Structure 1
Amino acid sequence: MIGADKSRDPAHASRRRQPAATVLAAAAAAGSTGSQRQALLRLLRSAREAGSSGRHHHGLQAAETALQLAGEHGFEHLRSEALALLALHRFRLGQLADAIPPGLEAASLLERPADAAARAEVLCTVAMACNELGLAHDGLKYALEALSAARLCQQPLMLSWALNRAGLCTFSAVGDLEQSVALLQQARELAAQHGHLIALFSAINNLGSSYRTAGQLAQSLAQAGAAALLAQSLDYFQQAATLATTTDNPHLQATAIINLAEILTDLARYDEALAELAQGRELARCGDFTALQHRADLAEAIILHRTGQLPAAIAVLQRVLALPAEQIEYEMRVLAHEALYRVYKDGGQFEPALRQLERLRQLEQSLADKRSSTQGWAIRKELEITSARLETERERLKAEHERLRAVRLEAEKSVAEARMSELEQAVLVDALTGVGNRRCLDREGPERLAQLQGGFDGMAVVVLDLDYFKSINDRFGHAIGDDTLRKVAQLVVLHTRSVDLVVRYGGEEFVLLLMETSQEAAVATCERLRLALMDYDWSTLHPLLHVTTSLGMAWQNQPQDWQAVLRAADLALYQAKHKGRNRLEVAPAL
């Protein structure tokens, strides 16, 4: 994506390196493993510094040499770094399809928790390469993997970069500008909090890129919001340009200025754009940033085209396309051919315009072939990694199986006992309300009555019934009826103690076993419960719903026949219903 962030860390921007071949020759002459390792470390440092200063051709050579040296001498962990740097430099040079395999191979070697930061970094590179190659969904997949690794390593700066890449890939894959902006804003906030200017610049710059792409799309579709999107893009690019002036990184400054020139061109502010281009091109020339020079040339050609200077525009574009293939990125070639096609067409030169279309067709076919080849390689690589993991897991499981064989029977017995306990508990619970059921009452009632001689002072058996419950189902439906029963059960549990027992006996009828010190205390508990149910705001279930209850209680402080006590409480409930409902009646002593 032209204008998308490709900023670099400025920490080593001014350093220069020994040629990779010189370092390798010195290592070969030294011969010792220690010297070879030192040579490899110098190569890797050289490749990293080249990334910081934008000298990617030199960085690519150093990374390739480092990879060769690491492979020959078995420096596996350093090999993963060499692969990651190789992927980075190929990506920066526009070798998108060639950047993905070493990046994914490096990621496969960085699976330990301690390697999370390095894994996140290389997956960010792979995500961006996929994104720019047109494999947007693959790019989003690897960006999200990078985000997971960044969260694992708990390094705020790495998390900022991963959020940054996820933001760009989200917009490319699903066209969700809102989500893309949200991720980029998170990246921006993290970078600002930790004072990292490069990460902050990148987030702001990519916000500008996302809005610019959205604005260009809206403009091409003649949508009303195009101008506002492009204006927002300009604002972010201006912020990025201001921030770039606070750094000593000429590549960053040139990137910001040329981005600003491109959005000014979109807004038809050509004089301002040309002034920015002159400054940006000079910075790019002094820094030998060829990719940025090509972008400046393309922007100039577009301005010349739009201002009617067609021969001058053709000359600029032909000069760009005359460069050797290795000196111009794939995307730039495509954009230059597209621009040249439009210039020829607008100038009425239809034959050369047709030749440009044919060349574009060839480039698109080449890109499609690269995409297919890259996707195929990535799939094969993932299958290899998965197969290796499965083999490792198979061996681990085999060993675990042997270890567990001696204790298997005991473990199975424990599991069976636990399951039996769960089933027993489930059998005693009412599925609708979550309180005990009739089977639970049949077990607990006789046991608790039998304990009155020793453990408890007394027990009240209370039968609680909802008044006119049938009318609730008839008027409001069974769903409201079920909700009412659940709420009644909750309120009863809340207004009783953990030592008491609450069961749903059937339908709208509940039975309570209240363990109290006296009949008076049991009566007081029942009254509090009746008032709590009556006063509850039932409109939360239905605006017209109101619930009252009738209660029958039988008090016992000595062992007694369970069925006789339950029957006495039930008869007391009948009396409460007969006397007008919404009341408590106490059964005579047995």
Structure 2
Amino acid sequence: MKAPSPSAPAPTTSRTISLHLRQARRARLSGEHHLGCQAAAEALALCDSLPRFRRQRDEALALLSLHSLRLGRLSAAVQYGLEAASGLDFVSQAAARADVLCSVAMACNEMGLGQDALKYALEALGAARISNDPELLSWALNRAGIATFSALGDLEQCVSLLQQAEIQARLAADEVACFSALTNLGVTYRAAGLQQEVLGHGDEARRLFLLARTQFVQAEQLAVSGSNLHSLATAYINLAEIHTNLGDFAAGRAALTQARSLAQQGHFTHIQRNVDLAEATLLHHSGQHQAAATALRALLAQDELLEFDMKMLAHEGLYRLYKDSGEFQLALGELEALRRIEQELANQRSSTQGWAIRKELEITSAQLAAERERLQAERERLRAARLEAEKAVADARMNELEQAALVDALTGVGNRRLLDLEGPARLARLGSDGGGLAVVVLDLDHFKNINDRFGHAVGDETLKKVAQLITLRTRSSDLVTRYGGEEFVLLLTDTVLESVLVCCERLRLAIMEYSWQEVHPLLHVTASFGLHWCDSPQSWDEALRAADIALYRAKRNGRNRLQLSSDRDLD
């Protein structure tokens, strides 16, 4: 019997990799993240020894990122996730790219890297929109909502995105995604309530706590109907915490009992530690200070197993207990411990950000090197052939490759080529569902002055922020593109013109009222809008031209306004 050649992997190796990946995927659904992490790591080790398993390697990295995130290994989740994303094509593998960037965004958010979380969440949202998968749209909207609250403090927009995430999850019939959306709505309301409580606004804090409890109850009901022990244990911890905030200690204790039982049943050590922390908080709030301090010290005794956020919460709890009981020397010790942890976390954040920057530079360098090699080979071929017709064909192919990218490199939204593809197609479909399409041309006012006064770096940052504001305030079905320079073109689908007008006015105010001082202390930005409404198929060039003419009229009429392509003005 002939032995397999060294270049061909044994069939058993391929089957073993597939088996490990199946185990990691099953663990994702069941919430057994320790098993999932182990299976994905074993698959990755086999793929690394056999380079031809590129697709399986990317999947193993993506699964490692997700399982590491669930286990609180945040830095590892970012590194595995970005390594996986670097090997995925933006268009043909958009679904896989959206999935892994969701994990990266969540890990950055939990590390306190709000702006990085928002960046990766918006990249995930863009990829999910290309894939047109409701499940992926749900997760991307979910992560974008959380990152919006962390980075911008915008509760209203965060809630809107999370509600959209729930809708998409129900369309996809994905109970886990729906549970996550409901849970994160509750977590956001609770976080906002805690902020109001610190400010002394008790009534507003209670209102937000009650909203949080409503979301947590819905999440619990969904988890009970499913079979995911991890989700159910998480639901009971959230209920215990919100009952504690509302002063319902009996209900909080009952929820903690259920959470602890499920965590032990599923061997979820991370959740068991969360139960310990929630129980200490309940003891503190209910006046059992000595028992609370004992519970927190026992939790901190597991130092090597604790994540940064849990250590901080435990030390902060002890600080408040010691302060309330007048043990100021001990309270000072807890403050010093907090300072050390914050420094460790800052170091980890810097290390993770540095790794991400180096990875992006490495990817860019590899892409440039590959492109140089391709162009050099093409030039050599042309030089050898010396046939004009063949050179013309090669030039055409090169031009086609250069135009293949559909995404604007600076802002991350679609580019002009994507608009040229989608615009005529969307206009041609009008009339089949009774809706309409608004072609909106948006131009930043006096943008040349921004570049002249503050420099092109500020101008580029302004364009990126405007793209973020537009993306966060449009729907998954809408198309956002950068047409060129400071001009954006939006395709907004709706049943009536009035809804589009409300959307455009919301965008205009969002740009005008944004805290541009974060970009430059003297910066102020406004935008003018030209809108052409289409309720039946028509020429794309004529529709775009009508919107463009309306934009020029808006500019002539004073800027920072919306102008319809019809005769009437809008203030």
Report TM bin, short chain: 0.5 to 0.7
Kindly state the Cα deviation for residue 32 of structure 1 after the two structures are TM-superposed: 5.1
Q: What SS does the aligned partner of 1:245 have?
A: helix
Q: Residue type matched to 2:82 in 1?
A: L
Alignment partner, residue 327 of structure 2: 349
Alignment partner, residue 478 of structure 1: none
The normalised TM-score by structure 2 is 0.63
Q: Residue type matched to 1:210 in 2?
A: T
Alignment partner, residue 258 of structure 2: 279
Alignment partner, residue 568 of structure 1: none
Distance 1:323 1:116 in 2: 41
Alignment partner, residue 314 of structure 1: 293
Distance 2:14 2:339 in 1: 47
Kindly state the Cα deviation for residue 396 of structure 1 after the two structures are TM-superposed: 4.3
Kindly state the Cα deviation for residue 167 of structure 1 after the two structures are TM-superposed: 0.9
Residue 129 (1) aligns with residue 107 (2)? yes
For residues 77-476 of structure 1, the aligned pairs below 5 Å read 77-111=55-89, 113-223=91-201, 225-326=204-305, 328-398=306-376, 406=388
Q: What SS does the aligned partner of 2:163 have?
A: helix
Kindly state the Cα deviation for residue 193 of structure 1 after the two structures are TM-superposed: 2.2
Q: What SS does the aligned partner of 1:238 have?
A: helix
Closer, same or farther in 2 for the Cα pair 1:540/1:36, shift >3 Å? Answer: closer
Alignment partner, residue 63 of structure 1: 40
Kindly state the Cα deviation for residue 401 of structure 1 after the two structures are TM-superposed: 6.5
Q: What SS does the aligned partner of 2:225 have?
A: coil
Aligned 8 A contact 2:182 2:218 in 1: yes
Count of residue correspondences:
385
Aligned 8 A contact 1:126 1:139 in 2: yes
Q: Summarize deviations over 1:105-153 as a string: whole Å, max 9, x none.
A: 1000111533221111111111111010111110111111111111112
Distance 2:223 2:64 in 1: 27
Kindly state the Cα deviation for residue 398 of structure 1 after the two structures are TM-superposed: 4.9
Aligned 8 A contact 2:31 2:229 in 1: no
Moved more, 286-295 or 364-373: 286-295
Q: What SS does the aligned partner of 1:113 have?
A: coil
Pair member with larger Rg: 1
Q: Residue type matched to 1:195 in 2?
A: A
Distance 2:110 2:90 in 1: 29
Distance 1:51 1:317 in 2: 31
Distance 2:128 2:67 in 1: 21
Kindly state the Cα deviation for residue 237 of structure 1 after the two structures are TM-superposed: 1.1
Distance 1:171 1:400 in 2: 49
Q: Residue type matched to 2:39 in 1?
A: A
Distance 1:77 1:212 in 2: 40
Alignment partner, residue 503 of structure 1: none
Distance 1:138 1:145 in 2: 11
Aligned 8 A contact 1:95 1:330 in 2: no
Kindly state the Cα deviation for residue 303 of structure 1 after the two structures are TM-superposed: 1.8
Closer, same or farther in 2 for the Cα pair 1:308/1:42, shift >3 Å? Answer: same
For residues 476-487 of structure 1, the aligned pairs below 5 Å read none
For residues 32-71 of structure 1, the aligned pairs below 5 Å read 33-71=10-48
Distance 1:303 1:163 in 2: 32
Closer, same or farther in 2 for the Cα pair 1:540/1:207, shift >3 Å? Answer: closer
Alignment partner, residue 565 of structure 1: none
Q: Summarize deviations over 1:301-326 as a string: whole Å, max 9, x none.
A: 11211222111111111111112513
Kindly state the Cα deviation for residue 245 of structure 1 after the two structures are TM-superposed: 1.5
Kindly state the Cα deviation for residue 35 of structure 1 after the two structures are TM-superposed: 0.9
Q: Summarize deviations over 1:78-99 as a string: whole Å, max 9, x none.
A: 1111111222222222111122
Q: Residue type matched to 2:268 in 1?
A: F
Q: Residue type matched to 1:238 in 2?
A: V
Distance 2:258 2:29 in 1: 21
Closer, same or farther in 2 for the Cα pair 1:540/1:154, shift >3 Å? Answer: closer
Closer, same or farther in 2 for the Cα pair 1:201/1:540, shift >3 Å? Answer: closer
Aligned 8 A contact 1:245 1:253 in 2: yes
Distance 1:540 1:157 in 2: 42
Closer, same or farther in 2 for the Cα pair 1:100/1:540, shift >3 Å? Answer: closer
Distance 1:298 1:198 in 2: 25
CA-based RMSD of the aligned residues comes to: 2.6
Distance 1:378 1:32 in 2: 33
For residues 555-574 of structure 1, the aligned pairs below 5 Å read none
Aligned 8 A contact 2:293 2:318 in 1: yes
Distance 1:248 1:64 in 2: 25
Distance 2:16 2:170 in 1: 37
Distance 1:378 1:351 in 2: 41
Kindly state the Cα deviation for residue 283 of structure 1 after the two structures are TM-superposed: 1.8
Q: Residue type matched to 1:70 in 2?
A: C
Q: Residue type matched to 2:215 in 1?
A: Y
Aligned 8 A contact 2:98 2:128 in 1: yes
Aligned 8 A contact 1:291 1:329 in 2: no
Q: What SS does the aligned partner of 1:134 have?
A: coil
Alignment partner, residue 446 of structure 2: none
Distance 1:33 1:152 in 2: 37
Q: What SS does the aligned partner of 1:375 have?
A: helix
Kindly state the Cα deviation for residue 177 of structure 1 after the two structures are TM-superposed: 1.0
Alignment partner, residue 503 of structure 2: none
Kindly state the Cα deviation for residue 387 of structure 1 after the two structures are TM-superposed: 1.5
Q: Residue type matched to 2:284 in 1?
A: H
Q: Residue type matched to 1:182 in 2?
A: S
Alignment partner, residue 586 of structure 1: none
Q: What SS does the aligned partner of 1:219 have?
A: helix
Alignment partner, residue 515 of structure 2: none
For residues 11-26 of structure 1, the aligned pairs below 5 Å read none
Closer, same or farther in 2 for the Cα pair 1:232/1:193, shift >3 Å? Answer: same
Aligned 8 A contact 1:192 1:200 in 2: yes
Distance 1:112 1:360 in 2: 42
Distance 1:287 1:273 in 2: 21
Closer, same or farther in 2 for the Cα pair 1:129/1:64, shift >3 Å? Answer: same
Any stretches of 5+ residues in structure 1 without a counterpart?
1-30, 412-538, 542-590
Aligned 8 A contact 2:68 2:76 in 1: yes
Q: Residue type matched to 1:36 in 2?
A: T
Q: Residue type matched to 1:275 in 2?
A: A
For residues 480-559 of structure 1, the aligned pairs below 5 Å read none
Distance 2:229 2:38 in 1: 23
Kindly state the Cα deviation for residue 247 of structure 1 after the two structures are TM-superposed: 1.0
